[in-house]
């Protein structure tokens, strides 16, 4: 029986390294979903809710396959 989520790794020089796993990131994501549902007061369109959720949770949001993060280079050469 597992009492806690502990990962034990042995590093090449003989030392043992242990870390704890946390469900904090998943709980944070669940809270964001519940907050969006509460603020949206009942989305009628699931695709709109999905896009709104993806936009709110991503560091670089992409909606409908379009990202405004990629810079556009208008000049082929830097020669003037």
Residue 53: how many CB atoms within 10 A of its CB?
17
For 17-31, write each residue's pLDDT tens digit.
666 667 777 888 888
Query: Percentage of residues in the chain with pLDDT exceeding 90?
Result: 0
Distance of alpha carbon 10 from alpha carbon 36, whole angstroms = 42
Global pTM value = 0.42
Q: Where are the domains of the chain?
A: 23-58
For 49-72, write each residue's pLDDT tens digit.
777 777 777 765 555 555 555 555
To 10 degrees, what angle do helices 46-57 and 24-40 make?
Answer: 130
């Amino acid at each position: 029986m597992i009492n806690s989520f502990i990962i034990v790794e042995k590093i090449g020089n003989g030392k043992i390294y242990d870390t704890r796993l946390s469900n904090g990131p998943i709980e944070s994501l669940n809270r964001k979903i519940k907050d969006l549902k509460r603020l949206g007061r009942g989305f009628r369109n699931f695709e709109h809710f999905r896009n709104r959720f993806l936009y709110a949770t991503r560091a670089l949001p992409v909606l409908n396959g379009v990202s405004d993060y990629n810079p556009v280079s208008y000049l082929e050469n830097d020669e003037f």
